[in-house]
Structure 1
Amino acid sequence: MSCGEPHETDCSEVLSEVWLYLDHECDERRKQLLQTHLDECHPCLEQYGLDEHLKALLAKKCGGEHAPEELKQRLRARIHQATVEVETIEVEVEARTTADNA
C-alpha cells in the first residue's frame, strides 16, 4: 500500500510493523519513525486505528492470556511473508501497467 506521498518510511513498511509498534516491541528509533509516518499519512493512520481497535478487542476477549513465544514467532514470520507476497504482486501489476502504457 502506498498513499502516493513521499515519506521517509514507506507505507507498506509501516503497516507491516504496526503490530510491533502497538505491542511496544520496536526500539525507540523505529518507534519514532513509525510515529512520524502515522502523523503524516492519513491512510496509514486509519489502518493503524483499525489494528489498534482489533488489538484492544482481542485483549478484552482473550482475558489477558499470552500466546506461547513459538506461536508469536510463527505468526510474525507468516505476516512478514504475506506482506512480501503482496508487495511483489503490487510491483508486478505496476510493471505490467507501465509496459501496457508504453
Structure 2
Amino acid sequence: MSHEHDTEDCADFLERIVYLIDNELPEGDCTVVRAHLDGCNPCLEKYDLQVTVKQLVARSCGEEAPAGLLDKVRLQIREVQVRIAEG
C-alpha cells in the first residue's frame, strides 16, 4: 500500500486534526482534512488516538476531585504564594 502524502504534508494535517476534533475548522478545511484522513492511514490512526484521549480527558474532568486532594492543592498554592511574597 503506497502512502501518497509526504511527511511535511502530514505534519500540516496533524495540526489541523486537533482543530477538526474541537470543531474549530471552517467547513471547507474540514472536507480537505477528512479527505486526507480517508487516504492516509498513519494520520487516521493519530486522529483516532487524539479522539480517544480527548474523550478520556473529558470523562475524567467530569468527576470531582476528592476533598483531601483539593485541600493538599490549596495548601501547596498557599506555600508557593508565601515563598513568592518572601522572595
TM-score tier, shorter chain, comes to 0.5 to 0.7
Match of 2:34 in 1: 35
Runs of 4 or more off by more than 6 Å in structure 1? none
Match of 2:14 in 1: 15
Structure 1 residue 52 and structure 2 residue 47: aligned?
no
Gaps of 5+ in 1: 65-102
Indicate the SS of the match to 1:25. Answer: coil
TM-score, normalised to structure 1, is 0.54
Structure-1 separation of matches of 2:27 and 2:15: 17
Give the length in aligned residue pairs: 61
Match of 1:74 in 2: none
TM-score, normalised to structure 2, is 0.63
Displacement of 1:18: 1.1
2:40 partner amino acid: C
Displacement of 1:26: 0.5
For residues 73-93 of structure 1, give each alpha carbon's deviation from its aligned partner in whole angstroms, at most 9, with x where no partner exists.
Answer: xxxxxxxxxxxxxxxxxxxxx
Gaps of 5+ in 2: 64-87
Indicate the SS of the match to 1:26. Answer: coil
Displacement of 1:4: 4.8
Select the structure of larger CA radius of gyration. 2
